[in-house]
Amino acid sequence: MAGSRRKVEMSSEFWCVNCGQRGIPIMRERSCRREKGHRKALYCIRCKMVLNHVETRNEDEARRFREDFAAGKFTEEAKQTIAYAKEHGI
């Protein structure tokens, strides 16, 4: 069939910068994937507020996030995100 192409969707996982836990995954078309380390404001079901989440596209990126989180790399970003969410009531 001419003109019909199959869209390939890939799952991206998101990790909360405050609690370090995995959030809700999102399906993205391969052509619409974001750059490595992309931030997205999502509702964290553990923190009960909208916070930045780091997007990971594979297990290696997820492992790197967990290592960086354990090293305290996201502490300041988490504080800023919480302050912004409280200030704007989100």
| Per-residue pLDDT tens over the stretch 3-57 | 556 677 778 899 999 999 999 888 877 767 777 788 999 999 999 999 999 999 8
Residue 62 lies in a domain: yes
The yes-or-no verdict on residue 73 having pLDDT over 90 is yes
Contact 31, 9 (CB under 8 A): no
Residue 21 lies in a domain: yes
> The whole model's pTM is what?
0.81
The reported pLDDT for the residue numbered 4 is 58
CA–CA distance, 46 with 44 (Å, rounded to integer): 5
66 or 8, which is more confident: 66
* Domain boundaries, position 25: 9-88
The reported pLDDT for the residue numbered 9 is 74
Count of domains for the chain: 1
Residue 51 lies in a domain: yes
- The whole-number average pLDDT for the span 57-66 is 94
Residue 89 confidence class, pLDDT cut points 50, 70, 90: confident
SS3 label, residue 16: strand
Residue 44 lies in a domain: yes
Residue 1 lies in a domain: no
